Amino acid sequence: MTALAVAFAAIDAANASDPNEVDGHPASLLYGQRMTAEQIRLFPDAREALQIAARGQHIERWVLSRADFPEGREGYLTWRRDLAHHHARRIGEIMASAGYDQHEIDAAHRMLLKQGIKRDADVQALEDIICFVFLRWYFQPFSSTQSPEKLQRIVQKTARKMSAEARALALDTFDLPPPFDGFFKD
């Protein structure tokens, strides 16, 4: 097996233990597979570190429960930060076990911690993939749980995180109703 196949197998094995399910599948496993599918659509020639970061972006997401952090924005941001560090650490361990060098491990680490978003092409590519997965698979069910005002803020933030190219592609790919479509126009 290639190092990439070994890394994917390890990520999938970890994520298969997710007690949360979506459509009858462990949620993190399904999310990782969706991330890979979107990565292939958007960045078919991506370097292996980006492929691995995409597949493992939510590795073992369930091990840090949101309920274990304080309510409110500060608690939410702390939970998200701690999760990102967990994901980066676990992906680094998996990549090292698969035989990747420290340079590639550090690159995946930066991507997962979003260090250099809007400045580093790979970090931005991962963010674009994340946003496309959200829009393709999670936006519709999520939207019914939010007030119109909060949903509008979330979609605006999503569009701001994306590259100009990804925003343009999102307009061509998704049927975004007004006012959401306006957030993706430059």
Q: Residue 42 — pLDDT band, cuts 50, 70, 90? A: very high
**Mean pLDDT confidence for 106-130:** 97
Q: Residue 177 — pLDDT band, cuts 50, 70, 90? A: confident
Tell which residue, 177, 179, 159, has the closest CA to residue 169: 159
Q: Look at residue 39 in the predicted model and tell me its pLDDT.
A: 98
Q: Look at residue 165 in the predicted model and tell me its pLDDT.
A: 96
Q: Look at residue 151 in the predicted model and tell me its pLDDT.
A: 86
Q: Where are the chain's structural domains?
A: 3-113
CA distance 166 to 154: 17
CA distance 19 to 153: 30
Q: Residue 180 — pLDDT band, cuts 50, 70, 90? A: confident
| Cβ pair 131, 161 in contact under 8 A | yes
Q: What's the pLDDT tens digit per position in 160-172? A: 999 999 999 999 9
Q: Which residues contact 75 (CB under 8 A, 6 or more apart)?
A: 69
